Amino acid sequence: MYYNNNTLIYLDGKFVKANEASTDLYSQTLHYGYGVFEGIRAYASDNGTRVFKVKEHYDRLKNSAELIKIPFDYDVQELVDATYELLEKNNFTDAYVRPLVFCDPNMSLSRPNKVSIMICAWEWGAYLGDKQLRLTLSSYCRPHPRSIKIEAKVCGHYVNSILATNEAKDKGFDEALLLDSDGYLAEGPGANLFFEKDGVLYTPQLGNILPGITRATVLELAEEMGVEVKQGLYKPKILALADSAFYCGTAAEVIGIESVDERKFPKEWSDSLGNKLQEAYSQLVRASEKTLSTTY
């Protein structure tokens, strides 16, 4: 359950009870998936709650809306402030934050004149497990960038992700790995892919994937650690020769990949670059230097 009788959400400038808020069943977003959203995480730090890369997430929300021509008249800083206020009002420290921009009633395929924004959050404790994923190559490919705006986080795009995840789970795997429409490695249904070979990290280049904020953070951390990272177009047979691999995303953070279609990566996770990055990421998101009262 995501909320109880006391939970507040932010809806169009006001804080309202989640169980009293309502929306219109004729919303264009509900019918056609024409809406944009974000997935953000807040962490308890020594200096209080810190929402990790919150500005980057709201900038991406704005960019997603603009890319698909949904009107976005919100001020990013106001949304950032509203997010902190929402967490405070609900007494959340470690939490997942979900902003959604959704459209007014409109059964036509033309653009909406008016949209709404809601921000909800739910408690999400620290993930302490060292689980590694068993992946399978999906029969679904990521949408072609000429059929949608792949860089936008659009509601409707997630039908592709849901199909891929369910197919993988039905086959007994933890998660899917999707290729792009040309057969190059793309990403997971909700995470970006990295793999390691001979001390170098590789990740699919931008163009056919969601530009993950965690991916960008991993690139920064790798640079700080002096690890070389190459971005390019890679076929699955290259991944089959890799030493180790991991997924990264706001929800998953950095998570090791044990195998793809039962073929295990030879390197122990504890010896992998992914494991070092996982630790560095975990420290960074909980670091206290950026806090509620200073910068975010």
* Residues noted as catalytic: 153
| Rounded Cα–Cα distance for residues 148 and 154 (Å) | 9
What backbone torsions phi and psi does residue 40 show, to the nearest 5 degrees?
-130, 155
Nearest-approach distance from CB 99 to ligand PMP, in angstroms? 12
**Least distance in angstroms from the C-beta of 104 to ligand PMP:** 25
- The residue from 7, 29, 90, 192 that contacts ligand PMP (CB under 6 A) is 192
Contact with ligand PMP (CB under 6 A) among 97, 115, 191, 254: 191
CB of 108 to ligand PMP, least distance (A): 28
Closest by CA position to 3, among listed 118, 127, 156, 157? 118
One-letter amino acid of 243 = D
**Is 257 a residue that touches ligand PMP (CB under 6 A)?**
no
Task: Report CA dihedral (29, 32, 35, 41) to the nearest 10 degrees.
Answer: 90
**Least distance to ligand PMP from the beta carbon of 174, Å?**
16
CB closer to ligand PMP, 70 vs 97: 97
Q: 53 CB contacts (<8 Å, ≥6 apart)?
A: 40, 213, 217
95 near ligand PMP, rule: CB under 6 A = no
Give the helix/strand (H/E) hosting 21. Answer: none
212 belongs to the binding site for ligand PMP (CB under 6 A): yes
**Residue window 148-177: x/- pattern of binding to ligand PMP, with contact defined by CB under 6 A:** -------------x----------------
Binding segment for ligand PMP (CB under 6 A), chosen from 7-15, 77-85, 183-191, 224-232, is 183-191
Out of 11, 117, 177, 213, which residue is the one contacting ligand PMP (CB under 6 A)? 213
How far apart are alpha carbons 118 and 223 in whole angstroms?
36
Nearer to ligand PMP, 4 or 166 (CB): 166
Of positions 190, 204, 256, 274, contacts ligand PMP by CB under 6 A: 190
DSSP string over 189-226:
SSSEEEEEETTEEEEEPTTSS---HHHHHHHHHHHHHT
The 8 Å CB, 24+ separation contacts for 1-5 are 2/120, 2/122, 3/120, 3/122
Give me the 266-285 binding string for ligand PMP, x by CB under 6 A, dash otherwise. Answer: --------------------
Q: Which amino acid is at 72?
A: F
- Which tokens belong to 141? 């490919």
Query: Beta strands 229-232 and 200-204: pairing type?
Result: parallel
**99 binds ligand PMP per the rule CB under 6 A:** no
Least distance CB 107 / ligand PMP (angstroms): 28
Q: Taking CB under 6 A as the criterion, which residues in 7-46 touch ligand PMP?
A: 39
* Conformational region of residue 41, where left means phi above 0, alpha means psi within -120 to 50, and beta covers everything else: beta
- In the bound state with ligand PMP, the residue whose beta carbon lies nearer, of 27 and 214, is 214
Judged by the rule CB under 6 A, the positions of this chain that interact with ligand PMP are: 39, 161, 187, 190-192, 210, 212-215, 249-250
